[in-house]
Chain A
Amino acid sequence: MRRENGKDLEVLTFGLEGEVFAVEAESVREILDLVSVTDVPNSRPFVSGLINVRGKIVPLADLHIRFGMAPFNQSVDTRVVVIEVPLAGEPTTVGIIADKVFEVTNLIDASIEEAPDIGLKWRREFISGIGKRAEDFVIVLDMERIFAMGDTETVAQAEAAAKNHS
């Protein structure tokens, strides 16, 4: 993703199975410890839980499943990052599980590059850009697409579905 205004991107970085991912800090509402999760039977495995975020019932998403990793295992470092994403035009609060939350940091605009065609084991549509932080890569996620798309459908299908919806 090329950022048109040339400003640095403020992100929250977190870990999933040793990889460093990032979401735009702007969309982050809060970070919570993981407490009781309610299973939603027969829902998609990727969003199979509900949590109580101060009186609001919020779906809990496990990005591990989205990225083909094994489902999360709770540890002392496990956190829930509560973010707000537009879903079919409606801002929706969603919790995502992070194995570990690192920090809020600035990614220098010039260092963010588009995801390459090869060399990634994840679906490219989910990634809005790859930034550099010290010697490491940070994968900036496109949360809207991650939540908008079904488990198997392509970007084109999802966008068509979104259009039909509005």
Chain B
Amino acid sequence: MADKRRVVITGAGVVSPFGAGVDTLVNALLENRSGISTHTLLKEFPLMNSHVAGIVPEIDFSFIPRHYRRSMTKMSLFAMLCVTEALKTAGHAKAPAGTAVYIGSTVSSMQAWLDFSEKFLNKRLDLVKSTAVFQVMNHSPLANLQQALDIRGPGLGASNACATGLMNIGLAYQAIRQGTLESALAGGTDEYHPMMTGCFAIMNAASSQYNDAPARASRPFDKDRGGIVCSEGCGIVYLETLDSAKKRSANILAEITGFAANTETKSISHPSSDSIIECMSMALDSAGVTPREIDLVNAHATSTVDGDIEEAISIEKVFGKDPPVNSLKGHLGHTMAASGSMELIAVIHMMLGGKAAGTLNLDAVDPACAGIRHFTGTVECAVNTFVKNSFALGGTNTSMVLRRYGA
């Protein structure tokens, strides 16, 4: 295939529980730090058995003019920072004409809806500000950042719960590869609300055994894991054709060579290895690579009992025991719509830096997850090609294959 339709990532931006910036994230991961802390509000709910969350440290967003900021909630503010960083690292002062934006969230701002609902239920519409609708509409982050940054290309964000970030990068990749677009900004963003932990708590899928030791609460593949730790943040990449990147001598972070998505229909809440195996296999096929060519699998693994087992079984079935496997949710918790894109960005930089962070809190591997090659701590690694998984409630599975450019 001609260079023109090969797709590369040349920019990236992150806001994570460690703060703003890709470097901040990658350094924290390589130092094996946890972004999880106690969230005291959670203790006030009698049936809320999980008291931990990954919250983005306070960031001063006053640099965004009030005219734009007034219709933004945290998920839009995070996205603004990330798009700005992604464009800057891509070498653009402004998104090139025609750049599409694929950005979504799991749900719109729960806090904004609560604020509106409280007034509505009290029959006090007179207290509702004019910008409420712009804060709660489903594509609020997408619309807000396109307005604020004057990005006039199509806004196309998908929303697939926790697979949103990787799904959007995959959709952007496909559109550029097929020639519909020349460039795109893509990823996911989400803001934390205790209701999200509540949603998982009532499904018995929220971490509850480590409330007194938050840094240990998220423990993918570990025998003592007990569920998800909900977090927040944003991850956005800038994609363009290889031809375009070469013409302007852009710094190429990685090349996307394959992507696949499918849907689990046996259950709206539980993944199955059949579906995950199919998704990863389709991604490998679309990239034209064999499982033996994969140097690292970055798992979705959220620290839930069932989900981690199904993914471990699937990885073993497709890749065997050879490729190292890590999940970054031990450090980050589950950043929801941002998880796929944020973790993808982190692994790209680990590939470029030659060091990878293993799974944090993986003290004793669950025997049911033991068929794959786990690693912990920070290790030297030579990764040229890796697979990124991202799955979601509702049945969405996504897998992407990336490689070091020039490898």
Does A associate with B in a complex? no
Q: Which residues of B come within 8 Å of A, CB atoms?
A: none
